[in-house]
Amino acid sequence: MSNSNTSSEDPYMLGRNYYASARLAMLHLLIHAQFGFLLHPSIKLPSAIKDQEQLRIADVGTGTGIWIGELTRELPQAHIDGYDISDEQYPPQEWYGPNVSLSKLDIFKPLPKELEGKYDVVHLRFFMTIASDDNVQVVVNNLKGMLKPGGCLQWVERDWMSKFPEKAEKSDDPHTQVTCYHRSLFPEVRWINSLPAQFEQCGLEVLDYVTQAPLPVYRKPWNEDCLIGWAAIGDVIKNQEDKKWYRERLAEAAENARKGWYVDWELVVCVGRKDG
């Protein structure tokens, strides 16, 4: 099977149309329902409104900006800036009020001077399809660089790939076959299982590290969110033989999911603090 599948300046392969935006909305709501917080309790924020007015929070890889929209309801006085390599999924900025801005940023490139030491909190999630073992330290260092002294970084991730073998057999279930095929498309992500070590290597104090399997009541929507993302990947596979094989396996995986098949994976939350 060919490994020549996609090419794009934007490394994100899961689409940016309205299907993709709806998928991200469901993903966000599932994460919030699972954990019950937008910002981890170890991140101490001021309760007084006058102090909240001084808060500066960044969301990197903001996508549709839905996390920001939710946070404005909890911290309406805070200044919140969203960044992504693409602005294709941004809502009209005025929908989120005068304290929110949405801009473009490539977090893999050197950090712009104006963002250095600017934020009390930086939030990021689900970089598993774009950050690799080779460049994750670049990302963590840039996120740390955005923090004020004493500021906190919250990273939410999905530990999926570690649950599967490096290579699939033809007799394996379709989830295993598709996931192993993804290894030819996505970078190595062993870093997901070592986020605390990645934080510490960059000089961040780890405040908490949480892993949770999706609650049983959320298995069905998580399955469906995953399948929608896989369908988007299938759409951009260039090799026609691969595309046909992939869509057949996807249909089989969807049927298995309908019957109650699921993957025992974990959500990961790592929180770190910058000295100061």
pLDDT value at residue 49: 59
Are 126 and 158 a contacting pair, CB within 8 Å? yes
| pLDDT at residue 15, rounded to an integer | 63
d(CA 194, CA 211): 12
Beta bridge partners of 47: none
φ/ψ of 11, rounded to 5, equals -70, -10
User: Structure pTM?
Assistant: 0.87
Residue 60 in contact with residue 80, Cβ under 8 Å?
Answer: no
In tens, the pLDDT along 107-121 reads 999 999 999 999 999
pLDDT value of position 48: 57
Rounded mean pLDDT for each run of 10 residues along the chain, 276 residues in total = 40 70 87 95 79 89 94 94 91 90 95 97 91 92 97 93 80 89 80 93 97 92 88 86 92 92 89 95
pLDDT at 29: 92
Contact between 195 and 270 under an 8 Å Cβ cutoff? The reply is yes
Sort residue 130 into left (φ over 0), alpha (ψ -120 to 50) or beta.
Answer: alpha
Q: What is the spatial distance between Cα 77 and Cα 232, in angstroms, rounded to a whole number?
A: 37
The pLDDT of residue 3: 35
Q: What angle do CA 228, 231, 234 make, to 5 degrees?
A: 160
Q: Position of tokens 């299982």? A: 193
Burial of residue 45 (CB within 10 Å: 0-12, 13-18, 19+) is middle
* Cβ pair 148, 120 in contact under 8 A: yes
Backbone CA torsion sign across 223, 226, 232, 236: negative
Task: Tell me the HSE value of 36 on the side-chain side, using a 13 A CA sphere.
Answer: 3
CA–CA separation, 225 and 143 (whole Å): 27
- Assess contact for 61 and 83: CB atoms under 8 A: yes
